Amino acid sequence: MSEEHGLRVEVVYALPEKQEIVSLRLPPGSCLRAALEASGLLRKYPEIDPENGKFGIFSKLAKVDAPLRDRDRVEIYRPLIADPKQIRQQRAAEGKGLRKGN
């Protein structure tokens, strides 16, 4: 499909229990916000905040006004519930305690 006939785009939202993938066709010149709105995910998941949320195109952070290209993958990011660095430090500390007891 050429760009003059529209853009093929996927919008992805990963939840802990499942992943939502919505395939869309959008008019040429569409931006990330248009993909979010057309996907229906904003209505389905009200916790997604298009004004303050984090979004990306193929793992690179992007603003909602970022232009899309054919076959782009728009990603909706959720906030971290724990700091990965802190979790690794806790696991390492727990591991040291276990080794001393052996």
Nearest to 69 by CA among 28, 19, 11, 39: 28
Three-class secondary structure of residue 4 per DSSP: helix
Burial readout 59-86 (b: 16 or more C-beta within 10 A, e: otherwise): eeebebebebeeebebbbeeeeeeeeee
> Which of these, 6, 75, 80, lies nearest to 41 by C-alpha position?
75
Using DSSP bridges, classify how beta strands 72-77 and 7-14 pair: parallel, antiparallel or unpaired.
parallel
pLDDT of residue 96 exceeding 90, the answer is no
Residue 2 confidence (pLDDT) above 60: no
The letter for the amino acid at 32 is: L
All structural domains of the chain = 3-101 (3.10.20.30)
State the average pLDDT over residues 3-28: 92
pLDDT at 38 over 60: yes
Q: Are 35 and 13 in contact (CB under 8 A)?
A: no
Average pLDDT rounded to a whole number, residues 26-35: 97
| Distance separating alpha carbons of residues 29 and 54, to the nearest angstrom | 21
Q: What is the pLDDT of residues 39-94, one digit of tens each?
A: 999 999 999 999 999 999 999 999 999 999 999 999 999 887 767 787 788 888 88
Residue 98 pLDDT > 70: no
